[in-house]
Homo-oligomer: A and B are copies of this chain.
Amino acid sequence: MGQLGRERLVIIGGDATGMSAASQARRLKGPDELEIVAFERGHFTSYSACGIPYWVGGDVDGPDQLIARTPEEHRERGIDLRLRTEVTELDVDGGRVRVRDLESGAESWTGYDKLVIATGARPVRPPLPGIDAVGVHGVQTLDDGQALLSTLTALNGTPGRRAVVVGAGYIGVEMAEALLNRGYEVTVLNRGEQPMSTLDPDMGRLVHEAMDGLGITTVGGANVTTILTGDGGRVRAVATEDAEYPADVVVLGMGVEPETSLARAAGLPLGEYGGLLTDLSMRVRGRENIWAGGDCVEVLDLVSGRERHIPLGTHANKHGQVIGSNVGGGYGTFPGAVGTAVSKVCSLEIARTGLRERDALAVGLRFVAVTIESTSRAGYYPGAAPMTVKMLAELRTGRLLGAQIVGREGAAKRVDIAAVALTAGMTVEQITALDLGYAPPFSPVWDPVQVAARKAVAAVRSAG
């Protein structure tokens, strides 16, 4: 418990959610009212994990540039931040956590009045033979990034260096670009037929073609079975059911899962994807004094009405802000998400929001799907680049269900139009009437999103 009249807030996890919550709570309540203790098992706090591929690729210096706020800055603001300190047990009935100092190994209990669980996610790492070989790297943390860069540095000068990336989601395609930039011959092994399973396969195929064009080999339907090692336990190849792919370095980009082992052991409510379940104020369901946010929770999908696991820095920051406000005596809510995500492979921009065809089918929606080709600028304006927009609309109501965009400059952030429209529950007909910015250097007179909406309107009407 805290000192006389002073509450103690304990935060588990010192990244985006945890430290945003700490900062916002401190803004609202001074050290006399609220003691804030944050435990982080790593060496860093408040960093942009999303920036790691660009650091590895050499676009960004790191790791300092990726750190939004250092431990010292947090401490100067009256936050008792303990690095290299892991919480090993959560006693919710006793209102305390057991912590271990990872340097000394010492363990002790710390009580809390209010608790924030911001334990993040852990990378999926199947127990394949050889997965712990030298030269096999995840890219989840700054420590991971540093380790991968050390491997790449050691390989400098090796002729014909080859990299295999396992997984073709956001991290996979971004790491493929990074390794291409570092001069590697890059092969991406993907379980699905097309990269970017967050898109429908017809849109994923466009990404596949663009990656081919960049000289990245993408193998679909590839089930990795073994990581083969050579001298000194170093990786030498990745084997699938069908083939062997020589590799000097292997990057794992197979997605992440909520890190909720503490919460599970403590009996806190978890959802279908293993993430903590919260209410709109990010309070853990049924628990008065425990909040959770970031990659360890599930969020409400505003389009399907179902809970999903969407590990993204943008949500983690919002959650932290909301939790900090509520813990600090103000108020805030996180109403949910529509599933917006953007990425790029070299100059190819990739964006999605809302439901894919399979998502809409899974929740029993009846819909039309249309795809159009347009351009980023007026067709006659220099630099106008092709853009493909796919749009899903509900039958009869015409309600927008989702949009996917693949193109060059200006493709990614155009998805925000659809993201806001989804949040507002707009129909595709309402989208055709939107007053969007138009000038020849920025858009055709009908924005590509509206061209798609017009086709969707016609499809909804003709489907009756």
Contacts and interface: CB of A to CB of B under 8 A. Distances in A.
B380 A314 contact: no
A157 B432 CA distance: 48
A292 to B, nearest CB: 18
Nearest to A438: B314
A48 B420 contact: no
A337 B65 contact: no
Contacts of A16: 445
A108 B441 CA distance: 43
A348 B417 CA distance: 22
A385 interface: no
Interface stretch (A121-129, A140-148, A338-346): A338-346
A434 to B, nearest CB: 6
A436 interface: yes
Contacts of A312: 438
B382 A60 contact: yes
Kindly name the residue among A342, A351, A417, A441 whose own CB sees the greatest number of chain B CB atoms within 10 A: A441
A445 B48 contact: yes
Interface string A189-217: 00000000000000000000000000000
B381 A440 contact: no
Interface stretch (A29-37, A99-107, A231-239, A406-414): A406-414
Contacts of A440: 48, 50-51, 54, 60
A339 B434 CA distance: 10
Nearest to A352: B437
A54 B437 contact: no
B420 A66 contact: no
A439 B50 contact: yes
A272 interface: no
Interface in A363-406: 378, 380-382
A317 interface: yes
A335 B429 CA distance: 11
A342 B410 CA distance: 14
Interface in A296-312: 302, 312
Nearest to A53: B440
Chain A contact-residue range equals: 35 or more
Interface string A226-269: 00000000000000000000000000000000000000000000
Contacts of A443: 413
B419 A314 contact: no
Given A380-B51, A413-B410, A413-B443, A435 B317 contact: no
A109 interface: no
Contact of A420 (B314, B337, B424): B424
A48, A344, A382, A413 pick with most chain B CB within 10 angstroms? A413
A338 B419 CA distance: 18
Interface in A39-90: 48, 50-51, 54, 59-61, 65-66
Contacts of A333: 433
Nearest to A382: B59
B378 A439 contact: no
A308 to B, nearest CB: 12
Contact of A334 (B420, B433, B438): B433
A416 interface: yes
Given A48-B440, A313-B445, A423 B416 contact: no
Nearest to A343: B439
Contacts of A218: none
Contacts of A318: 432-433
A261 to B, nearest CB: 27
A54, A340, A341, A437 — most chain B CB neighbours (10 Å)? A437
A22 interface: no
A426 B54 CA distance: 35
Interface of A: 16, 48, 50-51, 54, 59-61, 65-66, 170, 302, 312-315, 317-318, 333-335, 337-344, 349, 351, 353, 378, 380-382, 410, 412-417, 419-421, 423-424, 426, 430, 432-443, 445-447
5 contacts: A50-B378, A342-B442, A417-B420, A419-B434, A423-B434
Q: Which 3 A-B pairs have the closest CB atoms?
A: A424-B424, A342-B437, A420-B420
Given A353-B435, A412-B437, 15 more contacts: A48-B445, A50-B439, A51-B380, A51-B440, A318-B433, A340-B436, A340-B437, A340-B438, A342-B437, A343-B439, A413-B413, A413-B443, A423-B424, A423-B435, A424-B426
